[in-house]
Structure 1
Amino acid sequence: MSDSDTETRPVSEDEGEGLEPHHDRDNRLTPDFVDAVLDHVEDGDAEGARELVRPLHPADVADLFELVPGDRREALAGALAELLDGDVLAEMNDWVRDEVLRALEPAQVAALATELDTDDAVAIIEDMDEDEQRAVLRALDPDDRAAIEEALSYPEESAGRLMQRDLVAVPEHWRVGDVLDYLRRTDGLTNDFWEIFVVDERHHPVGTCKLSWLLRTPAKIPLGDVMQREQTLIPVDMDQEEVALRFQKYALISAAVTDDSGRLVGMITVDDVVHIIQEEAGEDVLALSGAGDGDINEPILFTVRTRLLWLVVNLGTAIIAASVVGLFQGEIAKFALLAVLMPIVSGMGGNAGTQTLAVIVRALATNQLTSSNTWRMIAREFRIAAANGGSLGLLIGLGTFLLYHNPMLALTIGMAMLINNLIAGLAGVLIPIGLDSARVDPAVSSAVFVTMCTDCMGFFSFLGLASLLLV
């Protein structure tokens, strides 16, 4: 086949008519397709619904459940029960999956769990109620139950929950030919692996060997001569975010997981880590805004409770900022323009603080900011704040002078803008670093304190300078 035959090219209008009817041009399920499936379900035509859904990829079936209103998912799950395999559940949104699982019997959930790798099975079972969890575990085979119970014994969001138990490990005294014979003749080996773990007599990992090396090496060569002894080992209790950072830093495809004694107990693959990176990044962004999980499928009451708590905290900080304004009621009464201009100072300080905060939280999350470069980062952000504050101060000062023809008012707001930007820069650095040192997640708590600092100092600097220079 020539290169031109394999090139990706735009789809014309005429060719677009030949696309599969259940997807639009952005590879999303069309509203007409979703409605057609629901119509079959409502008419009691389960077979018709299955015929429509059967060609879909498991990820698309999961999308179908997420697009359907919550009160119709149970009926859809009943109609598509025979198409609901482990791969579909693994792709499903957590909230939607919980709703679907509640519509299934424990034996059905257990049957689905046995189709999955241990890490995916654990992801399905760990969020169930305790009674449902026990019922599903009782329905599992003893070996599967033991593996899942062991995984559930590890902390949430740890490598132990994330790892797969199915891997290929061979002794270091084997030759390449022995390994190839083992792979060809042994039934029940995992199907998806990219490297083989080499272990000593205590089952401690001593190296790894890529499949490509094995296939290109003569059979008589000792495995110890071709394996790579340097490897990244993941402790079983390591937080999943740290696991993702190690995969990213060392460009790993898979990595061995070891217990407290150093024994090989599982492996983590990059496909699991990609999901974790996306999940952790989303959590940090949502935490900064106080939006909770931010999932459009979560119950409304849960969302209200999560957001309201954050808003109540912000109400408290707003009251503190308002009390600062209250200290200068007399000055504002004498010079009404102060009430017009002071929100500009606090608002710009808040924006500057948010910028710095976002950079620092990301640096902390990715281990770019450590104790070795903390002071350098503080100095860097202070210089940035000074440059930005000076520039904004000149702009707002010039604009105020041209608008109101009052040089002292222009000087006041310009100086206040510089001061508040410096405060915003320092708060955006020092608050998340301080919280991180105290073992408090800076993504969750920093925004409240940074906003309080910029609001209070914005009002205090502007009104305080006004009381000295204008009133």
Structure 2
Amino acid sequence: MEAAMSDPGAIDPLDAELLAAAESQHDEDDRLKPGFVTAVLDAVEAGDAEAARDLVSPLHPADIADLLELTPSDRRADVAAALGDLVGAEVLSELNDYVRDDLIDALRPEQVAEFARELDTDDAVAIIEDMEEADQQAVLDAMDPEDRAAIESALAYPEESAGRLMQRDLVAVPEHMTVGQVIDYLRDHGDLTSDFWEIFVVDPAHKPIGTCQLSWILTCPRSIAMADLMKREQTLIPVDMDQEEVALRFQKYALISAAVVDASGRLVGMITVDDILHIVQEEAGEDILRLSGAGDGDINEPVIDSYKARVRWLLTNLVTALVASTIIGIFEGTIERMVALATLMPIVAGVGGNAGSQTMAVTVRALATNQITASNTRRTIIREIRVAVLNGGTVAAVIGMGVGLVFGNAQLGAVIAAAMLTNIVTAGLAGVAVPLTLDRMGADPAVASSIFVTMITDSMGFFAFLGLATLAGM
């Protein structure tokens, strides 16, 4: 036993634990295992930065970003400090916005500037754009004039526009060059961007007139002119186009990259599909969260920010709920005469609300993906009403027969069936009309649609059910 302890080659128990964690970093879903995260945190807490670095060094930058996001907020700065240069520019570009802001706040402007210099313009802008104005200016002042000019130019464009999203490093050549000249140009200029899939062909005014994939250049004779090889049809992205519309163009035309042009048609940058994947995920999640009024819905968002984003919608919903409550009060006498109405009211309103939510979700998605246009709006409305009539008829028949049998009152069954059909049809109409109206008004249909649709379905459900019951003399 003593010999084993004195053996210089023996493995310390802590090192053995860390080694075991390192050998199984990911689970079957390619997520970092809790045991691995704990091992890194324990090494940092024990002051063994070298052991923590040994564990983390095999990870991809995206996985290191995941590690920092899984780390408790009060320990992130210590973990980042222990990992040192492993937390580089690529890791920062992969981080959740809130986590990245926390880390950047702990860095000096010179360090942030150094990170920004290592990144493409679009990734550098993503790091700098959300900083306080004074901190942002300090970082820009610490950058080289050329890099600073590129960042300032990007920041001058609207948020979530192609100008913010594009990268300025690209390869553009004149059409009179041959394939051989282009290959020599690429080999002789080591300062060109290393990540590109196609070359843009421009005229003397630097306006794009075609594109040429690298595979075409590599497989063609050197004597072929670029003018004869290039594809003249291309999808050009205006610099002020919204990033969601950019993503839709990439999806529609199956693009890998696309040229970005300014108001005069000059080539100013390019957007690549890897940037679009982030936008698609971001926009899809954003619409879902807006429908629920949950704000950014990020688990790393500060509690007070989440509170502010959600409470205003809950208060708005409280006001709209008073409308439904007022309708119930109008028919108070009818409810007193037949208490069963009180137990059945929530069914009519609840099912109608779900029907409205279904239609609303379909409509908001169709608007977001440009499936609904001026030419098919009327057809879309008619389609949703037809679906609502079929759904309403089915549900009304089931609830009507059920209530008639349970309460032994065929008249009550007929009343709730008629009310259910009315409310589901109304819900279908509201679910498509409210988002379309908000969209025509220039408002985001994902933001306020749910509150208006809920108010309409609840109010109509109570009004139809209690109103029909009153007319039936119940």
- Taking structure 2 as the reference length, the TM-score comes to 0.94
> For residues 359 and 316 of structure 2, what CA distance do their matches in structure 1 show?
21
How far has the Cα of 1:18 moved from its partner? 11
> For residues 31 and 367 of structure 2, what CA distance do their matches in structure 1 show?
35
How far has the Cα of 1:359 moved from its partner? 0.3
Partner-residue secondary structure (3-state), 1:88: helix
Partner-residue secondary structure (3-state), 1:80: helix
Q: Is the 8 A contact 1:194 1:253 kept in 2?
A: yes
**Which one of the candidate residues 196, 208, 212 is aligned to 2:211?**
208
Q: Is the 8 A contact 2:22 2:55 kept in 1?
A: no
> For residues 69 and 223 of structure 1, what CA distance do their matches in structure 2 show?
55
**Which one of the candidate residues 153, 156, 159 is aligned to 2:156?**
153
> For residues 352 and 470 of structure 1, what CA distance do their matches in structure 2 show?
29
**Which one of the candidate residues 25, 28, 45 is aligned to 1:42?**
45
Q: Is 1:373 aligned with 2:376?
A: yes
In the alignment, what sits opposite 1:256?
259
User: Using a 3 Å threshold, how does the CA distance of structure 1 residues 66 and 43 change in structure 2: closer, same or farther?
Assistant: same
Name the Cα RMSD after superposition.
1.2
What 5-or-longer segments of structure 1 have no aligned partner? Answer: 1-16
User: Using a 3 Å threshold, how does the CA distance of structure 1 residues 19 and 27 change in structure 2: closer, same or farther?
Assistant: farther
Q: Is the 8 A contact 1:175 1:223 kept in 2?
A: yes
In the alignment, what sits opposite 1:304?
307
* More off after superposition, 407-416 vs 31-40: 31-40
How far has the Cα of 1:427 moved from its partner? 0.3
How far has the Cα of 1:20 moved from its partner? 2.5
**Which one of the candidate residues 286, 308, 312 is aligned to 2:289?**
286
Q: Which amino acid aligns with 1:446?
A: S
What 5-or-longer segments of structure 2 have no aligned partner? Answer: 1-19
> For residues 138 and 252 of structure 1, what CA distance do their matches in structure 2 show?
36
In the alignment, what sits opposite 2:224?
221
> For residues 301 and 222 of structure 1, what CA distance do their matches in structure 2 show?
61
**Which one of the candidate residues 25, 28, 35 is aligned to 1:25?**
28
Any residues of structure 2 matched to 1:293-372 within 5 Å, and which?
293-372=296-375
Partner-residue secondary structure (3-state), 1:154: coil
Deviations 1:169-219 (A, max 9, x none): 001111222111111111211111111000000000000011111112111
> For residues 210 and 375 of structure 1, what CA distance do their matches in structure 2 show?
42
In the alignment, what sits opposite 1:179?
182
Any residues of structure 2 matched to 1:373-412 within 5 Å, and which?
373-412=376-415
Give the share of equivalent positions with the same residue, in percent. 64
In the alignment, what sits opposite 2:268?
265
Q: Is the 8 A contact 1:234 1:243 kept in 2?
A: yes
Q: Is the 8 A contact 1:409 1:470 kept in 2?
A: no
How far has the Cα of 1:165 moved from its partner? 0.3
Partner-residue secondary structure (3-state), 1:197: strand
Q: Is the 8 A contact 2:21 2:36 kept in 1?
A: no
Deviations 1:66-85 (A, max 9, x none): 11111111111221222111
Deviations 1:250-276 (A, max 9, x none): 000000000011100000000000110
* More off after superposition, 302-311 vs 355-364: 302-311
Q: Is 1:65 aligned with 2:81?
A: no
Q: Is the 8 A contact 1:408 1:470 kept in 2?
A: no
Q: Is the 8 A contact 2:22 2:36 kept in 1?
A: no
Q: Is the 8 A contact 2:21 2:35 kept in 1?
A: no
> For residues 322 and 200 of structure 2, what CA distance do their matches in structure 1 show?
59
Deviations 1:285-310 (A, max 9, x none): 01001111110011111111111111
- Taking structure 1 as the reference length, the TM-score comes to 0.95
